[in-house]
Amino acid sequence: MTKRDVGFIGLGKMGGHMAARFLAAGHALTVFDTNTEAVARLVAAGAVAAHDARAVADRAEVVFASLPMPAIVRGAALSLCDGAAIKVFVDTSTTGPVVAAEVAAALGPRGIAAIECPVSGGMAGARDGTLTLMVSGPRMAVDATMDLLTVLGRPVFVGETPGAAQTVKLANNLLVAAAMTITAEALVMGVKAGVDPKVMCDVISASSGRNTATSDKFPRAVLTGTFDFGFSTGLLYKDVRLCLDTAEALGVPTVVGAAVRQALAVTQALHGADSDFTSVVRPLEAWAGVAVRSP
């Protein structure tokens, strides 16, 4: 394995795990985050701390980012333009195709290849290196970065068009949100009728209604009452809004998606943006006067 100089900006729930994997794989790592505790954890494991995003780009040829909002990604990417070492910027955030295209247009003339690499698989996937990576960007740059991408999981090349990978990720997250929301309605109805929700999940997961909410998210984070799947209501709400904005720009109606967005808006209003997105069941529980729990 060739040791490479890697940078990582954004060491939150996902980014911290992904950055740690590069250290474990033997690469030199420079990191930046406004959360000093997150930086300290990586430094203790062997990383070098940078005082800002630009300083990361002065040390690392390939800089990864995992940031919460499109505007933050845009700002971070623009700050990298004059970095002394950076050749490739890999954005694992979910920003939508508009910001992805803006970043590519800003970095390209400075000789920096922009690779979109939104991920799916949650914190466990980030920790274990089993993420699905939706990748788009200049094919030569993607191929040259493949050894680093495979440290994080399974890369799937979507295409070279700016925004392609982001579009796929938004579609995926709309499906995640829709499955979670409709499963919440179905299970609250069942519990109100006196059915054990675990039995319902088991039956549905072995039947044609099976989805990742019935097979994984509800058993892990709702039936247990922990609501700790690891992704916030605010971030999923942001992703669904980005998806619907993209669809509207393309002239594609999203009738079901609009209802999902409203369900997330209600959840965020009642339980906060930092609540786990599995909390989408909680307003329904309150209105129905039941709890979807199983010992």
Q: Where in the chain is the domain with CATH 1.10.1040.10?
A: 166-288
The one-digit pLDDT tens for each residue of the chain (295 residues) are 689 999 999 999 999 999 999 999 999 999 999 999 999 999 999 999 999 999 999 999 999 999 999 999 999 999 999 999 999 999 999 999 999 999 999 999 999 999 999 999 999 999 999 999 999 999 999 999 999 999 999 999 999 999 999 999 999 999 999 999 999 999 999 999 999 999 999 999 999 999 999 999 999 999 999 999 999 999 999 999 999 999 999 999 999 999 999 999 999 999 999 999 999 999 999 999 999 999 7
**Which residue has 């700050």 as its token pair?**
79
CATH 3.40.50.720 corresponds to the domain 5-161: yes
Q: Which of 22, 19, 23 is nearest to 8 (CA)?
A: 19
Q: Where in the chain is the domain with CATH 3.40.50.720?
A: 5-161
Q: Cα separation of 10 and 231, whole Å?
A: 15
Q: Model-level pTM greater than 0.85?
A: yes
- Catalytic entry in 87, 169, 198, 238: 169
Spatial neighbors of 192 by CB under 8 A, at least 6 apart, are: 288, 289, 290
Q: Residue ranges of the alpha helices (H) in the chain?
A: 15-24, 36-44, 53-59, 70-79, 97-107, 122-128, 139-152, 164-192, 197-205, 212, 233-250, 255-271, 281-288
Taking 3-state DSSP, the helix, strand and coil percentages for the chain, each rounded to the nearest 5, stand at 55, 15, 30
Q: Could you tell me the sign of the dihedral formed by the alpha carbons of 278, 120, 15, 22, in that order?
A: positive
Which CATH architecture describes the domain 166-288?
Orthogonal Bundle (1.10)
Active site residue 169: yes
